Structure 1
Amino acid sequence: MTGTPPEAGPAPGRRSPRTNPWWTLVAVAFGLFMVGLDGSVVAIANPYIGQDLDASLPQLQWVTNSYLLALAAALILGGKLGDRFGRRTFFLVGLVLFTLSSVAIALVGSTAGVIAFRAVQGLSGALMMPNTLGLLRAVFPPRKFGAAVGIWAAVSSVSTAAGPIVGGLLVEHVGWESVFLINAPVGAIGLVVGLLVLPRSKDGTGHHRFDVPGLVLLALGMIAVVYPVVQSGSWGWGSPRTIGLLVLGLALLAVFAVVESRTAHPLLPMRLFRNPSLSVATAVTVVNFFVLLGSIFFLMLYLQNVRGYGPVEAGVLTLPLSLASMVASPLGAALTDRFGPRFSLTLGMLLQAGASFGLLGLGVDSGYAAMWPCFVALGLGVGMVMAASSEAIVGNAPVRDGGVAGGLQATALQVGGALGTAVLVSVLGSRVGSTLHDALLGAGVPAPLADGLSGARDAVAQGVTPVVPGVAPEVQAAVHQGAAQAFVSGAHTAVLVTGGLCLLGAALSAAVVRRGRGTGGGAPAAH
C-alpha cells in the first residue's frame, strides 16, 4: 500500500494558504526554530544556571541532556503518531506543550525542576520535529522537495548555531530565564500561523496496533546508554555501574532491533536500514550533532570562564559559525542535487574534522585568530551534512514512512547531541581530573595547596578557577593558570575524539553513500 496525499483542501478555484506548500514550510519553521534554539541556547546559559541554582557539573549536563534524551527517545514515536492520527494535529500539540514547558523552566526556581521541565520540553519537541518533515514530504512535489529540505536544514542549522548569540544577549541584559521565556511569543505566533495554513495529512494505510514494546525498549535502551556516560565523570569509566549500564543499554537496543524486525507494525521499520546509504547517512547525522552540540558546550565554558568573555561577547565570537551554517545549508542542498549526498556528506565531515583538529591550537591565552577559522569550518560542515543527510534519509524512504523517516533523522540529530555533550564533557572532566594536580604544580602552586585543590575538578571542568581565601595574589594567579591549563588539556582530548569520528564518517560516506533511486517516491519496501 502507498501513502495518501493530504486530506482534501479547498477546491482548486479557491485561493488558500493551505494549498501553497511554501506556507507549510513557513509554519513548521516556527517549531524548528524553537527546538533547534533550545538545543544549543542553554550552553551559554549554563554557567549562570549553575551559579544561580548552585548546580554541579553533572546537573548542568542533565539540564542539556534531559532535553536531548527525551527528544531522542520519543522522536520516532512522534513521527508514528503523526503518520497515524494526523501530522498537523501532533505538530500543533507539540508546539503548545513546548511553549508551556519553556515558561515553566523559567519559573520553577530549582535545578531539579529545570531538569524535569527540560525533559517535558524534549518530549514536546519530539511531537513536532518528525512531523515537520512528514508535512513537507506530503505537500511538496518530488521536484521541489529537495529545495524545501534545504531550507528546512538551513532553519534547523541556523537556529542551533544562533543559540549562543541569542542566549548571550538575553542572559546579559535580562537573565538566564529569558532564554526560555522567548519561546512564549514565538510559540504563540507559530500556533496562529499553523492553525491557519497547515494542511491535514496522515498515512492512509489502515488501523495498526501500536508498538508499545518497541517504544519501551527504545526509551529504556537510550536512557541506559546515555545515563552512565553522563555519570562516568564521577563514577569512572571502569566502574561496574558504568560498564554494567552501558552493556544493559546496548543489549536493550539489540533486543529492540530484533523485536522491530519481527513486529507486523513496528515503531521503527528495520527494513529502512536495508538501504546502506540511509544507514550510513543516519550514523553520520549522529556524528554531525555529536560534534556540534558537544563542541558548543565546552567552547562556551572556555570563552566565558577561561577567557573571561561576557555572554554577548561569547555569542558574537561564535557568529562565524552561524553565518557559515546559513551559507552551507542551501549550498549543501545544491551540491547534493548536482553530485549526490555522498559528495556533500564527505565534504561536510572533512570540514568538521579540520575544525576539530584546528582547535588543538587553543591555549589558555589564545587570540581570536586561533578560533574563527575553526568556527567557520564547523558551521560549513554542519550545514552541508544536514542538507545531504535529509536527502539520503528522508528521500530514500517510502512516502508512507515519511513521519518515521523524519523521526529517524531527527532522532539521529538529538542522540548525537545528547551523546556529544555527555561524552565530550565526560572526556574533558576525566582529563581535567588526571592533569589538574600536575598543571597546578607546573604553574607554581605550592604542593600542599595543589594537593588540596585536586578535589575541585568539577569546578575546573567548567572552566572555573577555585578561589583560595587568604593566599597571596601571585598564588591565586598561579591557581588560575594551572586550572585553565587543565581545562585546555581536557578540551584538546575532546577535540581529538571529535576529529577522529569525523574522519571515520567521511570515509564511510565516500565508500557507501549513493544517490537514491526513487525509493522515496512511495513504493513501500517489503516487510
Structure 2
Amino acid sequence: MVQQLAGQEPEQSAPDAPRIPAGRRRLALAVLVLAQLTVWLDNTILNVALKTLADPREGLGASTNQLQWSISSYTLIFAVMLFSGGVLGDRYGHRRMLLAGTAVFAASSLWAGLSGGPGELIAARGAMGVGSALIMPATLSLISAVFDARERAMAIAVWSGSSGLAIAAGPLVGGALLERFWWGSVFLVNLPLAAVTVLGAVLLLPAARSASRTRLDPLGVLLSTVGLLAVVYGLIEGGHRNAWTDPAVLAPIAGGAVVLVVFVLVELRVSTPSLDVRLFRNARFSGATVSVMLTYFSLSGSMFYTAFYLQGVRGQTPFEAGLNLVPVAAGVLTGAPLSAGLVRRFGLGPVVGPAMLVAAGTFLAYTGIGTGTPMAWFWLLLFVQGAAMGAAMAPTTEAVMAVLPPERTGAGSAVNNSMRQIGGVLGVAVLGSLLTTTYRARIEPALAPLPAPVSRTAGASAEATRQLAARLSRPDLVAAADDGFVHAMHVASVLGGAVAAAGAVVVLLAFRRGKASGTMR
C-alpha cells in the first residue's frame, strides 16, 4: 500500500487505471492534450514573433544572440528539469505537479508578455521552462492513471498528436495576434489555456502518484544545468563576437564540457540520477535517442532562420509567415500514422532511417532557396520535411519505450525527451551562431564605406542592416542584406543537413536487421 503524506488527499497508485466512465475519460484526455498543446504551442508561436522582437519600435530591439537565448533559455531549462519534474510527480502526486507547473507557466507567461527588455524576456522564458518540465511528465503519467492497458496506446497517440497540431496552430495564432496586438500577446494567450487546464484538472483528473518514492538528485540537476548553460553561452557568444578563439568564447565551452563530464561520472554513482546515463548501455535505446537529438538539432535551427527568411527576405507579415508554415504540420500529420504500418511490416531501421535521410535532404534543400523562389516549392519542401519527421519521430519514441523494462519507462521517457530538447538548444545555438558569423562576413564589403561604429552595429544581423538602410534611404543595402542572409542560410543548412544525415546513419546502425533485440535488464 502506498504511504500517504500527512494531510494530503488520497492518491492512486495501482498499475492499471480504475474504471472511470468513458465520457469522463475522454474529457480527462482533452484536459491532458490541452496541457501538452499549451507547452508545444509556446515553442512554435515564438518563431513568427522573432522578427517583431528584433524591431526596436514594435518589439524589444533584441539582437540575434538575444533572440537565440529567448528560445534556448526555455528549452534548456525544460530539458534539464524534465526528470526532476517526473520524480516530483511520483513523490507528491502528478495532478499536483500538473497544477503547480501550469501555475508557474501561466505566471511566467504573464511576466514574458510584460517584459521591458530582452534580458527580462530571457529570464521569463527560463521560468516558463520550469513550468513545462513539471507539466510534461505529469500528463503522460496521468494518462496511465486514467486509461487501462487496452485504451492506453490510443490515448498516448492522441496526446502525441497534439504536438503536430501545435506546429500548425502556433504560427497561425502568433501571426494573427501580432497583426492585431503587440508582441506580448503571443505569451498572454497562454493564460486562458492555463485557466481551462487548471479547472479541468481539478474536476476530472485523479491524484495519481507512483508507488515508488524516488529520491531527488539536486547535484545532478545543478551540474547538468551549469554545464549546458556554459556550452550554449559559449556557442552563442562565438557567433555574436565573431571571434571563436576569444577566451570569452572558448573558456565557457571548455568549462561546460568539463562540468558535463563530471555530471556523467556523478550520475553513474548515484542510485537515482536526474538523467540515467546507464540507459545508454542499450544500443537500441542510445541509437534511437541520439538520432532524434541530432534531427531536432537540425529542425530547431532551420525553424530559427526560416522565420527571418519569410518575414525579412520575403517581406511577409507574421500571419502570412504562419500560413506558409502550415505545410510542415500537414506533413507531420500525414507521415506519423503511415509509419506505424510500415514499421510493423519492414522493421524500424528500414523505415525510420530512410525517413531521416529524406528529412536531412530537405534541410540541405534550403541551399536551393533564394530571394525569389516560388512559394509553391517552399510549401512542397516543408510538407516533405514534415512527413519525414512524422514518420521518424513516433516509431523511435515507441522503440525507446519498448526496450525498457516497466520499472524504467519513466526514466527512459525523461531521458528521451530531455535529449530532444538538448538537441533543439544546440541546434539554435550552433546554426544561429553560424548564421550570424557568415552573414557578418558577407555583408562587410557593403558596409565598409560607413563609419566603423555604424558598420559594426548594422552588420550584427540582416534586420539591423535593413533598419540602417531605411534611415539612410539606401535600397542597395536592403538588397545586400537579403543576399547576405540567404547566403548565410545556405551555409547553415549544409551543416543542418549533415547533422540530420548523421542521425539517420545512427538509427540504421542501431536497428539493422539481425541485431539482438529485447528489453534491457
1:210 aligns with 2:216: yes
Match of 2:232 in 1: 226
In structure 2, distance between residues paired with 1:389 and 1:307: 36
Deviation at 1:90, TM superposition (A): 1.1
1:12/1:375 CA distance change after superposition, 3 Å: closer
CA distance in 2, matches of 1:349, 1:196: 42
Tell me whether 162-171 or 343-352 shows the greater mean CA deviation. 343-352
Equivalent AA in structure 1 for residue 42 of structure 2: D
CA distance in 1, matches of 2:17, 2:299: 45
Give 5+ residue unaligned stretches, structure 2. Answer: 1-10
Query: What is the match of residue 305 of structure 1?
Result: 312
Q: Map of 1:48-127 to 2, 5 A cutoff?
A: 48-51=52-55, 52-127=59-134
Q: 1:455 to 1:37 in 2, by over 3 A?
A: same
CA shift at 1:72, angstroms? 1.3
Deviation at 1:137, TM superposition (A): 4.6
Distance 1:135 1:335 in 2: 30
State the one-letter code of the partner of 1:465.
Answer: R
State the Cα deviation string for residues 217-271 of structure 1 (Å, max 9, x = none).
1111111121111211123222222222112222222221111111122222233
Q: Deviations over 1:383-403 (max 9, x none)?
A: 223212221223333333333
| Aligned residues with identical type, % of pairs | 33
Cα displacement (A) at 1:337: 4.5
> What are the Cα deviations for residues 182-201 of structure 1, in whole angstroms up to 9, with x where unaligned?
11111111122222332333
- Write the distance in 2 (CA, Å) between the matches of 1:122 and 1:480: 36
What CA distance in whole angstroms lies between the structure 2 residues aligned with 1:369 and 1:135?
42
1:257 to 264, 272, 279: 264
Q: Which residue of 1 aligns with 2:483?
A: 485
Q: 1-side partners of 2:413 and 2:462: how far apart?
A: 36
Shift in Å, 1:404: 2.4
Output the amino acid matched with 2:46.
V
Q: Deviations 1:281-306 (Å, cap 9, x if unpaired)?
A: 11122123222222111111111111
* Matches of 2:169 and 2:163, distance apart in 1: 10
Measure the CA separation in 1 of the matches of 2:119 and 2:19: 55
What is the Cα deviation at residue 171 of structure 1? 0.7
- From the superposition, tell whether residues 267 and 222 of structure 1 become closer, same or farther in structure 2 (CA, over 3 Å): same
Q: Could you say what secondary structure the match of 1:202 adopts?
A: coil
CA distance in 2, matches of 1:171, 1:449: 34
Give the letter for the 1:223 counterpart. L
Cα 1:412–1:468 shift into 2, 3 Å: same
Offset at 1:458?
4.9
Q: 1:357 to 1:469 in 2, by over 3 A?
A: closer
**Equivalent residue letter for 1:44:** V
> What is residue 40 of structure 1 aligned with on the other side?
44
Match of 1:429 among 433, 436, 443: 436
TM-score (norm 1): 0.88
Q: Is the 8 A contact 1:157 1:326 kept in 2?
A: yes
Tell me how far 1:349 sits from its aligned partner.
Answer: 1.1
**DSSP-derived class of the 1:7 partner:** coil
- Residue in 2 that maps onto 1:31: 35
Distance in 2 separating the partners of 1:32 and 1:363: 36
Counterpart-to-counterpart distance in 2, 1:57 and 1:203: 43
Contact 1:82 1:403 in 2 (8 A): no
Shift in Å, 1:168: 0.8
For residues 182 and 336 of structure 1, do their structure 2 counterparts lie closer, same or farther at Cα, with a shift above 3 Å needed? farther
| Residue deviations 1:333-354 (CA, integer Å, cap 9, x gap) | 4434444432443133122112
**8 Å CA contact retained: 2:291, 2:502:** no
Alpha-carbon distance, 1:499 to partner: 0.6
CA contact (8 A) 2:18 2:148 kept: no
The RMSD of aligned alpha carbons is: 2.9
Per the TM alignment, residue 155 of structure 1 is displaced from its structure 2 partner at its CA by 1.0
**1:398 equivalent in structure 2:** 405
Could you tell me how far apart the structure 2 residues matched to 1:164 and 1:101 are?
21
Within 5 A, what are the aligned runs for 1:438-477? 438=445, 440=446, 448-449=449-450, 454-456=455-457, 458-462=459-463, 464-468=465-469, 476-477=474-475
Q: 1:459 to 1:43 in 2, by over 3 A?
A: farther
**Structure 1 residue 463 displacement after superposition:** 7.5
Q: 1:13 to 1:404 in 2, by over 3 A?
A: closer
Q: What corresponds to 2:426 in structure 1?
A: 419
